[in-house]
Amino acid sequence: FSISMDHLSLDEELGRGNYGTVKKVVHRPTKVAMAMKEIRLELEDAKLRAIIMELDVLHRAVAPEIIEFYGAFFIESCVYYCMEYMDAGSLDKLQAAGVPERVLARIAASMCRGLRFLKDELNIIHRDVKPTNVLVNRKGQVKLCDFGVSGELNKSMAKTNIGCQSYMAPERIKGESRGTLAAYTVSSDVWSLGLTIIEIALGRYPYPPETYENVFAQLQAIVNGDPPELPGVVEGEDVGDVTGETNGILDGVVGEKQYTYSETARDWVAWCVRKDPERRGKYSELLEHPFLKDDRDSGVDMAGWVVKAIECKNRNALIAARAVLPQSV
Ligand code: ATP
Ligand code: MG
């Protein structure tokens, strides 16, 4: 069936990106809750129609690690894109709770399987792997969204300013600064995968805070600096130990835990973020690495982790709200 605006009831806003807004909607004929992304594009109708046609490929992107696509349409100069609603949101919003090693492995394995599926079955390179494009639900499922299926859409959304945090691989940054649009390869996605895993483990963007506001310094650090790593085990401590636990409302941060990770996990991540793209792991190799090999049988309680992470997020939001309005307790 095809989806049109007439069949949708608008609900809350789920988030905003550089190109538009994502809203929760209900498709009335089927009563299915969906996430609808609005992308504003100043393009003529023929181009918009071409984009909608290209997006049709997404109906074939059916895999457990890929967000389900329901349909797309355009109204005036906006493309609307309806997809599976994920009730725990994106990973960037869940990392404050701390991420134990087995949970990190499940996230990494899901991302790898999803990216391998896109590449092998549909010949699609994601091009925008980052924490906001990895979605989670309360069942504990981890799925990818926002991959580059439409050439026309990629062109019209050409990343002039990629925002304040870059997940772009060093070879991409070098290529663009030279003006040679080097072909985007799978290994560039592998870099972004590694950087995403480090970010959610650390609970912050992995390059130094001085680079957050300074795009040039950030790109310099990515191209010239050493790649970031996962925090390792401090001598004398067990894997999974919490090192800098800050609890208590006085700190303004509740339940912020910094886990440490085994040499196996650190080795896996280092394999993703090698500066030389040729030396990065391929998806199948990465899935065979000891960090991920037994993930399916690890019995990790993802649903339990998601619930805790959402509670932590809500608590922090409450504390932040109180800080703004001190009189209202
Ligand atoms: P950018 O514009 O740089 O790609 P982004 O990925 O954050 O950044 P959007 O893709 O527009 O921007 O998404 C905005 C937010 O909406 C996301 O950060 C995510 O938290 C939320 N979101 C997106 N898709 C869904 C979905 N299917 N279910 C639930 N929440 C979603
Ligand atoms: Mg997104």
Query: For the segment 302-322, what is each residue's pLDDT rounded down to a tens digit?
Result: 999 999 999 999 998 898 888
Atom number of ligand 1 nearest to Cα 93: 20
Adjacent-strand bridge partners of 202: none
Task: Give the separation between CA 26 and CA 28, rounded to whole angstroms.
Answer: 6
Annotated binding residues for ATP, written as ranges, equal 37
- Give pLDDT, residue 241: 44
71: left (phi over 0), alpha (psi -120 to 50) or beta: left
Asked whether the predicted pLDDT for residue 239 surpasses 60, the reply is no
- Give pLDDT, residue 250: 36
Atom number of ligand 1 nearest to Cα 84: 27
Average pLDDT of the residues in 257-276:
95
CA–centroid distance, residue 171 to ligand 1 (Å): 26
Task: Give the separation between CA 253 and CA 246, rounded to whole angstroms.
Answer: 7
CA distances in angstroms from 114 to 63, 119, 134, 169, listed in the order given: 7, 9, 10, 19
Buried b or exposed e, range 264-296, using 16+ CB within 10 angstroms: bbbebbbbbbbbebeebbebeebbebebbeebe
CA–centroid distance, residue 328 to ligand 1 (Å): 31
Share of the chain above pLDDT 70, in %: 87
Structure tokens at 205: 């963007």
Asked whether the predicted pLDDT for residue 151 surpasses 50, the reply is yes
- Residue type for position 114: G
Of 297 and 237, the structure prediction assigns the larger pLDDT to 297
Residues in Cβ contact with 63 at an 8 Å cutoff, skipping those fewer than 6 apart:
113, 114, 117, 121
| Strand residue runs (E) in the chain | 8-16, 20-27, 32-40, 69-75, 78-84, 134-136, 142-144
- Give pLDDT, residue 238: 53
Tell me if 136 sits within 8 A of 86, measured CB to CB.
Answer: yes
CA–centroid distance, residue 87 to ligand 1 (Å): 12
155 falls in which pLDDT band (50, 70, 90)? confident
What number of other Cβ atoms are within 10 A of residue 239's Cβ?
15
Asked whether the predicted pLDDT for residue 253 surpasses 80, the reply is no
Instruction: For 211-223, write each residue's pLDDT tens digit.
Output: 888 888 999 999 9
Adjacent-strand bridge partners of 78: 40, 75
Q: Which of 52-66, 67-81, 163-177, 192-206 has the lowest mean pLDDT?
A: 163-177
Instruction: Give ion ligand 2 contacts, CB < 5 A.
Output: 132-133, 146
Residue 18 buriedness (CB in 10 A; 0-12 / 13-18 / 19+)? exposed
Mutation test residue for ligand 1: of 78, 92, 132, the one with most atoms within 8 Å of CB: 132
CA–centroid distance, residue 136 to ligand 1 (Å): 12
- Give pLDDT, residue 20: 87
Instruction: For 74-129, write each residue's pLDDT tens digit.
Output: 999 899 999 999 999 999 999 888 999 999 999 999 999 999 999 999 999 999 99
Average pLDDT of the residues in 144-165:
77
Instruction: Give catalytic residue positions.
Output: 128
**Torsion angles phi and psi, residue 222, rounded to 5:** -70, -45
The number of the ligand nearest the C-alpha atom of 81 reads 1
Of 238 and 3, the structure prediction assigns the larger pLDDT to 3
Pocket around ligand 1: residues whose beta carbon is below 6 Å from it?
Answer: 14-20, 22, 35, 37, 67, 83-86, 89-90, 132-133, 135, 145-146, 163
Task: Give the separation between CA 142 and CA 52, rounded to whole angstroms.
Answer: 26
Place of tokens 């949101």: 89
Q: Considering only CA atoms, give the Rg of the chain.
A: 20
Average pLDDT of the residues in 162-187:
78
pTM: 0.91
Pairing of strands 69-75, 78-84: antiparallel
| ipTM value > 0.95 | yes
